[in-house]
Structure 1
């Protein structure tokens, strides 16, 4: 274990997932002091705000928290830097495709931070994958399809499953939608509303998966009884948050 010894090490997300997790926490009975976008502390402190939370986690000092990027979490959990983390199911899939034998387990889906992982191309190339391929091959006989994405392994798996031969995967670190048409032909990207894609003259040709926030944990941490007790306690509080969220959203 390379996290803080004798503590349950938790990773919380920054960025898009943080925007959804902060209000979600209000429904769980716990908070993390300093976990605010306006004044983010990368090491926020767990606080129990309800009787249920205090009964499940009588000593919040047993928990150490750090805020990192959601896409990095599965690898950190796999390498024992953290016992548990809040990330997205998209990054879990990316990690599992890269490391099929990973010790990371998806424990609980949280129902927030929902996005679609889509394939998108220039609007002049059609709005289905078949149309895109037909037009691309007519314009570029024998040329490989340049597929750009932060999701390198999801993109490669998608290309293989759909037999997009020949193709090349281009790894990106953001602003992927800006690469078409000069530097890429197709992108694999997450989208909440599709507005950014449309602003860049792109059409979605396929939806690969739907993603949402989730809790992941290390199989090795789950073998340690006191850590498993804390993992189960945190999951119970998050599960109550999921129930509260859905009950509030009912008409």
Structure 2
């Protein structure tokens, strides 16, 4: 069966329930998540995306955990992503983030363990009817409980235990410089350097990056994230923490 045939079989699935009415998906999402994900509260609906939020306080800092669900009636699919962010200004960013303190990843990628996913498996497909769509939302809650929460718990442990993050937060906690000037300088470097983090030449950024690179016991994959971490820490500092 071709990928198109597989998708067609999902979106044309027959059931005896009525078609979805305008706004009904929001009601189903809130109802199911209140039961299955009680710690996550409905936060907002914006640009087709429903966001649910849980806020943890770790070492005196808020960590914003988000479940984003985009519902497409015409295309008959839902896409879902999970985020753990210390900078709440990233709330409405639809970009995935592989960094350490503002991570944002697709739920199906977490479920599959890979970003290489056939198109017929890359979304939660629905048929515009109440029964099937409710079942799909139940599946999303199940997947989030199994894979999303595991991801979020790893982030919690990182915030609690990582010497790299402790070093970074200690740096910005003791930093006393003009926040607007810092932000303007970094943005200027990024704009002139094609938005590559490697183009940032700000002295404070370079000092922080150097301190982070001197932390011992960091694996190679995490070490690759140090330039981005230094930038996001200073960005967090600049917006007022």
Instruction: Indicate the TM-score class for this superposition, using the shorter chain for normalisation.
Output: under 0.3
Q: So what's the TM-score if we normalise by structure 1?
A: 0.24
More contact order relative to length (CA 8 Å, sep ≥ 6): 1
Q: TM-score, normalised by structure 2?
A: 0.25
Q: Which has the higher strand share?
A: 1
